[in-house]
Chain A
């Protein structure tokens, strides 16, 4: 009775008409110890199917997160920016634009004015050290003796 059923199932199986449940039934039948002699040739097939079902993937998959990479590159960039910053940090450059005169007459007058200012200021400063001459006078008095 059971055998009859199995044979029918086998026929259906080979026509590709069995459901998963029926296939499981076949598998169960053929993986047991004793199988009807005339069906024995199917045994290795179903055993093979069950065996292959157990094979596993054992290799590791290196999953890298992109996030870490991003942080790494940000830190590299930050260091680079810092270094460039230090390298180019020169004392206040004197290349500031002070403006210019188009008219040479004006320029001349302006220069004259500035030079005059410098000279008056200079004279003023110089006059305040005139008294140093006193030191000269006294020392010469002393050392002449």
Chain B
């Protein structure tokens, strides 16, 4: 497999890998490193790549595992990432400051979700995979994915309602 062929396969989903990594690791730099690592691993095993039925789903699973490992090793070292000063540059594109603020709120709410719910929200609401694909990527069954998703969405709703009504009620 040549480099161009590889890039051809990888290009369409590399952003998804990156966003998933960023969802879990939060900081942009960490996510970039993780993505790079995942892509390099794929490149190293490029001979086996033809055997995989779905390279994209496989890479997503790989990314998930890689990021969770990373988080675990961080916890083991007792070095917790502090993200309180982290700012998402992306949403600053938004014109209205207030609106921008509430969009950031959503990011923060999602950040506080348990890892599995984070993953499900990311894969479903942002990357728009269908349930079967998500189930395969996360090694869960279909219903479990739906339950996790429903819980995550309800948590987000609850917290959003709270912040939205803050100062009103």
Contact = CB atoms under 8 A, between A and B. Distances in A.
Contacts of A52: 19, 90, 126
A99 B150 CA distance: 95
A59 B35 CA distance: 9
Interface stretch (B49-57, B75-83, B97-105): B97-105
B90 A44 contact: no
Interface residues on A, range: 20 to 34
Contacts of A54: 90
Contact of B128 (A23, A45, A57): A23
Interface stretch (A14-22, A118-126, A131-139): A14-22
A41 interface: yes
A40 interface: yes
Given A56-B18, A61-B39, A48 B91 contact: yes
Contacts of B146: 16-17
B72 interface: no
Nearest to A13: B153
B107 interface: yes
A53 B130 CA distance: 16
B36 interface: yes
B136 interface: no
B125 interface: yes
Contact of B22 (A14, A16, A47, A55): A55
